[in-house]
Structure 1
């Protein structure tokens, strides 16, 4: 991969950290994504929409960040070339989580 364009636009991914597992849909607009637990019975009903920023790191690797309405902050390092996602999440109570998992394109 040599393109600096964010490859997730208009696509859906599975972020599989073992526990938890999420479904992440990137809107083609390059500004919003929707996410929910992967095993949600009705994704449309439970998905949360977030505004995000994607920052190019190197070919095939992007840092994606967003802040949720409840104060949760999320940083992903998405490695599209190797199918790996690293997550760093700060909860409203300041608990800090770090995760590593598989990053699989579903469509």
Structure 2
């Protein structure tokens, strides 16, 4: 039997694209995450809360999607097995960014 449970629940990760890098904290219920630039002095003050959807791809790999209040859309493919994150971000002006980086569990 295949484990399709999202492994990020209740954990904190660093999405390290070099520049930029982000701290991502998942709630335990599987509905919201909080993120901030990794170098923010105070995560609690700097963090933004997002409602996300996690879609199972294969064991250890999930696609995450959310839309931010300012219209930015974010898609992550988080590979927990190989500690890699792929990001695709559409900015409000329609600029499209693709990123690949390290996906490191911090707790």
Normalising by the residue count of structure 2, what TM-score does the alignment of the two structures yield?
Answer: 0.98
Question: Structure 2 regions of 5+ residues with no counterpart?
Answer: none
- The structural deviation recorded for 1:29 is 1.2
Normalising by the residue count of structure 1, what TM-score does the alignment of the two structures yield?
Answer: 0.98
How many equivalent pairs are there? 106
1:24-43 equivalent positions in 2, closer than 5 A = 24-43=24-43
RMSD: 0.5
The whole-number CA distance in structure 2 between the counterparts of 1:14 and 1:70 is: 23
Structure 1: 4+ residue segments shifted above 2 A: none
Question: Structure 1 regions of 5+ residues with no counterpart?
Answer: none
- The structural deviation recorded for 1:20 is 0.2
In the alignment, which residue of structure 1 is the partner of 2:99? 99
